[in-house]
Each structure stands twice: as structure tokens, then as C-alpha cells.
């Protein structure tokens, strides 16, 4: 008997069909990967197995867990199963924990519910669990609150909650997508170890083929609510059948950018000199001196016209502070930024506006960065107020031109942002950035919210625009694959400082700084994993 057996599972909300004929089995102790892009139905499938869907969901088929039909089980029986026999780890560690309860209480809660023990009695077990997930209680008191922990540490707490009762099945829904690569590597190791130790089966849901390859025994690929292909990990990669699987695989391999021959000049587009930006930290007590955090610490670099420069580093390393300062949205504490020959922070308001026309920005979230009540034409035209003497007709022409440059149609100007997909919205964001014909675009994680297949298209577009319009980019990302695909040079940032910089290819092939090495080693590498699996097979 299999541990989990999903047979002919169909799910609909009203008239909308979400899942069609899902068949999926997981044996005890086995690790299975469910791969697909957003909206493919992979998370919904796992929530259906936990019976955590809203009551409006109509389910048919069978979900057998340990031989019991979950769809026939009453809510009380289901509560006894959840957390005890089947547990779940979620994608977003920042929001998965209750902000007003201590982490100890949140870990103890499941124990107290299932074992009927007191808070005191659960205490020992909580300390052991914290230790087990790599949060030694000596440093991470159970009385801490979630906001006092980093993203990776919070995910460890979520894992502690999940393994508390030694569940037979652990469902991990994109457990590392919101984390840095270095953190991702340790969390994946931890998950694998704990699943083995507790003898739990693992259902890993992810969009990342490189991650799934190193974690699971079998893979199932989902698209539009159906499982389109499945197989043992190695066989699956060796002999892919379905075009969609092939497309996913192709998209996950990056083609390094053909490097443009741009030499450092004495008249760079942007020159950053000894830039430092610090924040004041809260005082320890009333009389203690103020402490400062140098978010950006003595950073110098240049960007040449038409050059694409990558900025990589983990969250909290100062990337975003640096980007805001380059855009003259923050004032530096010391140091200066020259753009087109002038120091940005010595310009008059008027002259600064003129400079802003030449530097535009593309943000990460294609959903949050548009006012939903404005039409695309108006959104894209917005930066044109930086351009003097432009008629209404000229404005419309520029909008149409920008939209066509990014692969949309001129008529799209009359639509609202919600009528577009995520990838198309990011194209609109790019259109908005290029409409003033800038010389530099700062792109802050422009593709990290996009699915892999769409990500590639957007990266291609950015590369094309750079060649066509001689655009320079500062490309900020935590994803090394992406940086490799679009940049000529790369800056590696760690704790506010640039610890390594050089041509992208040479930094990737021969990293010098310890941190860069660590970063590269932590990045999941599909080819290396497959080679290792082949070797193990022999």
C-alpha cells in the first residue's frame, strides 16, 4: 500500500476547472517532485491532499492516505491527521508565521494539540526541535518573535513546526523560492536530512528543475491542471518526451551573453566614487552612543555607455540601497556619483530632472508597480513629463513606438494592466523605462517574479534593446544564472562592500573571493547533479 495515492482527482471552483484527472502516488519514505510554472495547479494539488481548500472547491476522485480516503473523512478526523501524519512547509517564510506569537509558542502549539500536553511539558521538545533545525536554543531563544529572525531562520522555524510530530508525509511548497541561494542550499540540505532521519516521505513542489533534480527520486511535471509527464529523476532527464518538459529544461539552461567589447574609458556613463551610505541603528539604552550600519560601504565602480553590469549579492547586502542612491533617491553619506559628467548631488532640482530622463528603472514586481486604474498608455507615458516640449500627438507616437519595441502592439495603450500576463506586464514596465530614450536602466530583480519560460523572453528583450539603442544596464539580481545571461561585467556585493568585480565570464569561471566561491557553489547546477546521479547509478 502506498502512503499517498491520488486517483482521478478533479477540482473546480464553480465552472472553472482547476485540476483534471490527477494521479500521483508517493511511497513511504520516498521523495517526489511536482514541477510546474505558476498557475499549473501544483500548490492546489498539495492543499487538496491536506484538505485545506476553501469550501467552495468541488473535489471528485480519491485521495488515499495510509489506506484511508481523505475525501470521506470528517473535519475532526482531518484535524487529527494534519500536522501529525502529514505536515506542510510553505513558500513565504516572512508571512507563514504569526507575527504576534513567539516562535516557541508556535512550535509548541501543534505538540500541545496532538499530544494534549501542557505548555511546560512541550518546552523540552521545542528546544530539541529548534536545535534539530539548526537554531541552537542558546542563541535562538524560543521566546523570540518571527520579526527578530531572518528569512532563512524563519523557514527553519516553519520546518520545526512541520517535523514536530514526525509526520509520515512532508509537503514542501516552494520552500526555498523566497530565499537567497546560499540559504537555499542549507535549507535543502536540512530538509533532505530531516526527511531521512524522521523517515518521512517528501513531496517537493517547485518550478526549479535544478533544485528538484538534487532532491527527489521521482518527478511529475504539471501544466494547466494536468500531469503531463512523469518518471524517475534520471530517466526523466535522459529521455524527456513532452514538449513542455523540454521547454522547461531549455529555459533553465542559460546561454551566456555574447560579451560586447567595451573598454573602460575616462569618460564613463556613470562613475561611482567612494560611496558610503549609513543608517542609524536604535540605541542600546538611553545613554549609549548611536550606532550606525554602513549599508553601502566605500563602493567605487564605473559603467560605460552601452555596457551591461551585474550586481549580485544576497538580501540585506546593500544592493537596493545602492540602487536607490544611484537613482538619486537617497543621498549618500559620503562619496559621489557622476552621471554624464556631473555630480548628481550637486545639481539643481531642474538639472537633476534633466539627468533623470537619462536613467530609468525597472522593478521586480510587475503587479505592484502599476496603478491598476490607469491605462497602459498613460502608465508608459508617465516619464515623458521629464521631456520638455512634447505634444500630445508626439506623446502618443512615443508610447506606440515604445510598446512596439518591447514586442507589444500600439493598441495595447488602451488596455488596463490587469488585462496582461506577468511577462507582458514586465514588458510594459520596460516600455515605460525606455520611453525617454535613456542611456542607463537600473533593473532591480526584473525577472525574479516571472516563470522560467517567460524569464528567458524578457532577458532576450533586454539584450536586444541594449544592442539596438545602446542602452547601459545595471542589473541587480540574486540569481547568478540570470546575471550570466545578460551582463558583460559583474560586481559581487557582500555586507555593503564590492568584494569582487570583473568580466562576468571570468568571475564565474574563476572566482577569487571566498564569498563569490560560496555563492557559486550554492547555486543549484542541473548538469552537475545529473552527472552525480549517473555516477551513483554505476
Q: Hey, is 154 helix, strand or coil?
A: helix
Give 84 or 484: the residue with its C-beta nearer to another protein. Answer: 84
Give 296 or 312: the residue with its C-beta nearer to another protein. Answer: 296
Q: How far is the CB of 97 from another protein (least distance, A)?
A: 6
Region 19-38 residues binding another protein, contact defined as CB under 8 A: none
Q: 190: part of which helix (H) or strand (E)?
A: helix 181-197
Q: Hey, is 283 helix, strand or coil?
A: coil
Residue 418 grid coordinates: 490587469
Q: How far is the CB of 403 from another protein (least distance, A)?
A: 35
Give 87 or 433: the residue with its C-beta nearer to another protein. Answer: 87
Region 131-150 residues binding another protein, contact defined as CB under 8 A: 145, 147
Region 48-67 residues binding another protein, contact defined as CB under 8 A: 50, 52
**What angle in degrees, to the nearest 10, is found between the helix axes of 181-197 and 151-163?**
10
Sheet of 226-232, strand order: 86-89, 169-173, 201-206, 31-35, 218-223, 226-232
Region 261-280 residues binding another protein, contact defined as CB under 8 A: none
Which of 491, 31, 466, 523 has the alpha carbon at shortest distance from 252?
Answer: 523
Placement of cell 516552494 in the chain: 174
d(CA 475, CA 459): 11
Q: Tell which one of 32, 44, 70, 96 touches another protein (CB under 8 A).
A: 96
Interface with another protein, residue 508, by CB under 8 A: no
* x-or-dash string of contact with another protein, 280-319, rule CB under 8 A: --xxxxx---------------------------------
Region 66-85 residues binding another protein, contact defined as CB under 8 A: 75-76, 79-84
DSSP 8-state code for residue 97: S
**What angle in degrees, to the nearest 10, is found between the helix axes of 103-115 and 119-132?**
120
Region 146-205 residues binding another protein, contact defined as CB under 8 A: 147, 158, 161-162
Q: How far is the CB of 158 from another protein (least distance, A)?
A: 7
Per 3-state DSSP, the chain is made up of helix, strand and coil in percentages (nearest 5) of 40, 25, 35
Residue 88 grid coordinates: 506542510
Region 97-136 residues binding another protein, contact defined as CB under 8 A: 97-101, 106, 109-110, 113-114
Q: How far is the CB of 18 from another protein (least distance, A)?
A: 18
Q: 169: part of which helix (H) or strand (E)?
A: strand 169-173
Q: How far is the CB of 87 from another protein (least distance, A)?
A: 7
Residues comprising the chain, all counted? 538
Give 114 or 247: the residue with its C-beta nearer to another protein. Answer: 114
Q: How far is the CB of 239 from another protein (least distance, A)?
A: 36
Rg (CA), the chain: 26
Binding residues vs another protein (CB under 8 A): 50, 52, 75-76, 79-84, 87-88, 90, 92, 95-101, 106, 109-110, 113-114, 145, 147, 158, 161-162, 282-286
Amino acid at each position: 500500500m502506498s502512503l499517498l495515492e491520488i486517483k482521478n482527482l478533479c477540482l473546480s471552483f464553480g465552472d472553472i476547472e482547476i485540476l483534471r484527472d490527477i494521479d500521483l502516488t508517493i511511497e513511504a519514505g520516498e521523495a517526489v517532485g511536482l514541477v510546474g510554472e505558476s498557475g499549473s495547479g501544483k500548490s492546489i494539488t498539495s492543499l487538496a491532499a491536506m484538505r485545506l481548500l476553501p469550501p467552495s472547491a468541488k473535489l471528485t476522485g480519491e485521495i488515499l492516505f495510509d489506506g484511508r480516503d481523505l475525501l470521506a473523512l470528517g473535519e475532526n478526523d482531518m484535524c487529527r491527521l494534519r500536522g501529525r501524519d502529514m505536515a506542510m512547509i510553505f513558500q513565504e517564510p516572512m508571512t507563514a508565521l504569526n507575527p504576534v506569537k513567539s516562535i516557541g509558542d508556535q512550535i509548541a502549539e501543534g505538540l500541545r494539540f496532538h499530544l494534549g500536553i501542557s505548555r511546560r511539558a512541550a518546552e523540552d521538545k521545542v528546544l530539541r526541535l529548534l536545535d534539530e533545525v539548526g537554531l541552537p536554543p542558546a542563541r535562538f531563544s524560543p521566546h523570540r518573535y518571527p520579526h527578530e529572525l531572518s528569512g532563512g531562520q524563519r523557514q527553519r522555524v516553519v520546518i520545526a513546526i512541520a517535523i514536530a510530530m514526525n509526520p509520515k508525509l512532508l509537503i514542501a511548497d516552494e520552500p526555498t523560492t523566497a530565499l537567497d541561494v546560499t540559504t537555499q542550499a542549507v535549507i535543502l540540505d536540512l530538509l533532505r536530512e530531516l526527511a531521512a532521519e524522521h523517515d518521512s516521505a517528501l513531496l517537493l513542489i517547485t518550478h526549479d528543475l535544478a533544485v528538484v533534480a538534487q532532491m527527489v527520486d521521482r518527478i511529475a511535471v504539471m501544466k494547466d491542471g494536468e500531469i503531463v509527464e512523469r518518471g524517475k529523476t534520471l530517466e526523466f532527464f535522459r529521455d524527456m518526451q513532452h514538449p513542455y518538459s523540454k521547454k522547461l529544461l531549455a529555459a533553465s539552461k542559460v546561454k551566456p551573453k555574447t560579451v560586447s567589447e567595451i573598454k573602460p574609458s575616462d569618460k564613463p556613463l556613470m562613475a561611482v566614487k567612494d560611496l558610503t551610505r549609513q543608517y542609524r541603528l536604535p540605541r542600546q539604552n538611553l545613554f549609549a552612543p548611536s550606532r550606525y550600519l554602513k549599508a553601502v560601504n566605500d563602493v567605487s565602480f564605473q559603467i560605460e555607455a552601452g555596457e551591461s553590469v551585474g550586481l549580485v549579492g544576497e538580501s540585506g547586502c546593500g544592493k537596493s540601497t545602492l540602487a536607490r542612491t544611484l537613482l538619486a533617491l537617497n543621498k549618500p553619506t559620503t562619496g559621489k556619483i557622476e552621471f554624464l559628467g556631473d555630480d548628481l548631488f550637486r545639481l539643481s532640482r531642474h538639472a537633476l530632472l534633466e539627468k533623470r530622463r537619462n536613467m530609468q528603472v525597472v522593478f521586480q514586481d510587475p503587479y505592484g508597480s502599476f496603478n491598476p486604474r490607469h491605462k497602459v498608455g498613460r502608465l508608459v507615458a508617465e516619464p515623458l513629463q521629464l521631456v520638455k516640449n512634447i505634444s500630445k500627438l508626439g506623446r502618443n507616437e512615443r508610447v506606440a513606438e515604445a510598446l512596439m519595441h518591447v514586442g507589444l502592439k500600439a493598441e495595447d495603450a488602451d488596455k488596463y494592466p490587469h488585462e496582461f500576463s506577468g511577462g507582458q506586464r514586465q514588458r510594459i514596465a520596460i516600455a515605460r523605462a525606455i520611453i525617454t530614450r535613456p542611456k542607463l536602466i537600473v533593473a532591480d530583480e526584473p525577472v525574479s517574479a516571472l516563470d522560467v519560460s517567460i524569464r528567458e523572453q524578457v532577458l532576450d528583450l533586454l539584450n536586444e534593446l541594449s544592442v539596438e539603442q545602446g542602452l547601459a544596464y545595471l542589473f541587480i539580481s540574486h540569481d547568478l544564472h540570470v546575471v550570466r545571461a545578460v551582463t558583460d561585467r559583474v560586481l559581487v556585493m557582500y555586507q555593503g562592500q564590492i568584494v569582487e568585480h570583473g568580466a562576468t565570464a571570468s568571475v564565474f569561471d574563476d572566482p577569487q573571493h571566498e564569498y563569490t566561491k560560496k555563492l557559486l557553489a550554492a547555486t543549484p547546477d542541473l548538469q552537475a547533479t545529473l552527472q552525480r546521479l549517473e555516477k551513483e547509478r554505476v
